Amino acid sequence: MLTVPAPAPLAAPNPASLRAATAPLEVQRDVEQFLYRQAELLDGKAWQDYIDLFAPEGVYWMPAHPHQTTGDGEPSIFFEDRNLMTIRMKRILHPRAWSQKTQWGTSHVVGNVVLESFDARSGSVVCRSRFHMLEFRRDQSRHFAGSYIHRLAKGADGYRIALQRVDMVNGEGLYEYVLQAWV
């Protein structure tokens, strides 16, 4: 349950309606750099820095199904505001969370970055991208892939995530082990 207002509904990417917004080149570059930094923070297990990418009312959301437009009142794989993200971080780092003691790591690659909308006045952006993530845990590798949509708000010190929607192509499959960190 969120302690912030639920984000406005957001549909999964629709390739047929894909149009790149008109925006200055540096906006495209800044957004790409932001997404690369996000991937680096996740792979580097810099959990607090990752959480700090989110606006105070920002939400990380991984729907259970691509047709969902909200996690409010519907089951999701993740649906977390900064408070729940902080609880998750503390759990991962807790010395007695034995399952997380096993050495594990990930590698994200983010690409196909398209600006869907750009508001010249506020600087806010909606962008979509694709990711591949390989996780190695104990003696097994797992591969997750899918799309991100980010609603980014522009502040004095750069972008902050208002909503990150993560649609994994294998999100509806069986999980050999559960997901413990954000994808």
Partner 1 sequence: MIWARRAVVAAAILLSFVTLAGAAERIAAIVNKEVILESEVEEEVRARNGSAPLDYHFLAGFTLPLSAFDKMTTVNYPAGHSVLEGYMSLRPQDPISLNYEAIMKQKYGEQRTNEILDTNIHHVICYPVLSIQPPLQQLRAIRPLAVDQTLTELWHFRLKGAPEPIYRRALGYFNLVNSPSTMVNADDLWNFRKQHEGLSSDGGEWVSLHRYAGQDDETDGVVRTRIGTSEAPLRNYFKAWLDYMIAGN
Amino acid residing at 122 = S
Considering only 34, 50, 78, 159, the residue that binds partner 1 (CB under 8 A) is 78
- Closest contact distance (angstroms) between CB of 82 and partner 1 is 10
Strand partners, 132: 109, 145
Q: Is 55 in the site for partner 1 (CB under 8 A)?
A: no
Q: Is 107 in the site for partner 1 (CB under 8 A)?
A: no
Considering only 99, 107, 109, 120, the residue that binds partner 1 (CB under 8 A) is 99
The count of other CB atoms within 10 Å of the CB of residue 58 is: 23
Quote the tokens at residue 67: 């047709």
Q: Tell me phi and psi for residue 111, to 5 degrees.
A: -155, -170
- Closest contact distance (angstroms) between CB of 102 and partner 1 is 8
The residue (of 156 and 178) whose beta carbon lies closer to partner 1 is: 178
Quote the tokens at residue 104: 């594990």
- Closest contact distance (angstroms) between CB of 33 and partner 1 is 27
Of residues 7, 3, 12, the one with CA closest to residue 172: 12
Q: Is 73 in the site for partner 1 (CB under 8 A)?
A: yes
